[in-house]
Amino acid sequence: MRFVKTSAAFVFVLTLAVAELSSGQAPRLADSRSGQAPRLADARSGQAGAYWCSMHPDVRGEAGARCPLCGMALVPRPATLDAYWLDLAEGMPAPVVGRTQRLRFVVRDPHTGAPVRSFTLLHERLLHLFIISHDLTYFTHVHPRIEQDGTFEEPVTLPRAGAYRLIADFSPEGGAPQLLQKTIVTAGYRGSLRAGAAPPVDIADKTIDGLRVSLSATEPIAGREQLVTFAVADASTGKDVADLEPFLGAPGHLLIVGSDLLTATHSHPVLELSGVAGPEVVFQVLFPRAGVYRMWVQFQRQGHVVTAPFTVRASHK
């Protein structure tokens, strides 16, 4: 899980990986029954190891090892922990509502400003891009293609006028994992770039493409790592689903965005507590402050990706 914070409408990045390394502390895995957070004995060797998990940087080991939390192969620890930045490609016009256009952007080196061309695969892709509207009603998860000059391109069709947040998740070669944000606006839009009113809490079951998705965590606590469990069932029969397919190398993906647009996290399931094919998929999450959060959880079944939105309110205990 990585954490990103933004300032105003443009990008300001905090990478959880950097915070974890700077503090010397490792996130802990909460027990689903007791609510306590025991250490994963011996599995997370923070004392030694030149390799780490790009999703869980406190997990250390040797070449060829895999993360006990998400199953990703450990990669060499980065030479730099500096934050990169996200920049729209020169000359890219503002998107026109309802028209398919190519979104073009680059990732820039924090020291030289040059476009970055080398990336490490992160869950089977060089870059995961989430596009969400500022009112949190629109969501898409895509994987832009990179050109030889380092420009990423992705055809997009934005449904209505307004401001949209780009959230890019990637791991530059030789650098720390990054989760960057930037806001774009549609052509002719003159409205506010601020976040809209917080959406109402919505934890009701969602039925999408024959799959019923239920959320178990109804009272999240701000500032505390905790488990969020999603249960999946067949909508027509009500029976638990046990045929989920790997989606980009994981049983599921979860994006959480605060209604104030200040924070976002992209998480993958805790494998030790999740069913690889269902019916329960468990994520370890952190709501950094009290407030309303929109969550989009994604699963794949029978070749189709299902996205289910939920809205929760995190409160102080």
Amino acid 317: pLDDT: 75
Amino acid 70: pLDDT: 74
Q: What are the C-alpha distances in Å from 209 to residues 87, 102, 109, 307?
A: 36, 28, 41, 9
Instruction: Please determine, for residue 293, whether its predicted confidence score (pLDDT) is greater than 90.
Output: yes
Q: What is the mean pLDDT of residues 61-83?
A: 76
Q: Is residue 26 part of a domain?
A: yes
Q: What is the CATH number of the domain that holds 218?
A: 2.60.40.1220
Instruction: Please determine, for residue 99, whether its predicted confidence score (pLDDT) is greater than 50.
Output: yes
Mean pLDDT of the chain: 83
* SS3 assignment, position 223: coil
Whether 264 and 146 map to the same domain: the answer is: no
Whether 8 and 152 map to the same domain: the answer is: yes
Pair 170, 122: CB distance under 8 Å: yes
**How many separate helices (H) and strands (E) can be counted in the chain?**
1, 22
Threshold 0.95, pTM exceeds: no
Whether 94 and 210 map to the same domain: the answer is: no
Whether 106 and 4 map to the same domain: the answer is: yes
Q: Is residue 196 part of a domain?
A: no
Angle (CA) 153-158-163 rounded to 5° is 100
Q: What are the C-alpha distances in Å from 24 to residues 18, 61, 87?
A: 10, 16, 31
Quote the domain boundaries for residue 269.
206-314
pLDDT in tens, 272-290: 899 989 899 999 999 999 9
Q: What is the mean pLDDT of residues 255-280?
A: 93
pLDDT in tens, 45-59: 344 467 777 667 678
Whether 170 and 225 map to the same domain: the answer is: no
Angle (CA) 291-32-214 rounded to 5° is 60
Burial of residue 269 (CB within 10 Å: 0-12, 13-18, 19+) is: buried
pLDDT in tens, 187-235: 999 999 988 889 999 999 999 999 999 998 668 999 999 999 999 999 9
Q: What is the CATH number of the domain that holds 70?
A: 2.60.40.1930
Amino acid 218: pLDDT: 64
Last residue of a domain, one of 162, 191, 220: 191
The domain total for the chain is: 2
Pick the residue with more confidence: 132 or 121? 132
Q: Is residue 29 part of a domain?
A: yes
Last residue of a domain, one of 191, 226, 247: 191
Q: Is residue 25 part of a domain?
A: yes
Position 95 confidence tier, pLDDT thresholds 50, 70, 90: very high
Q: Is residue 201 part of a domain?
A: no
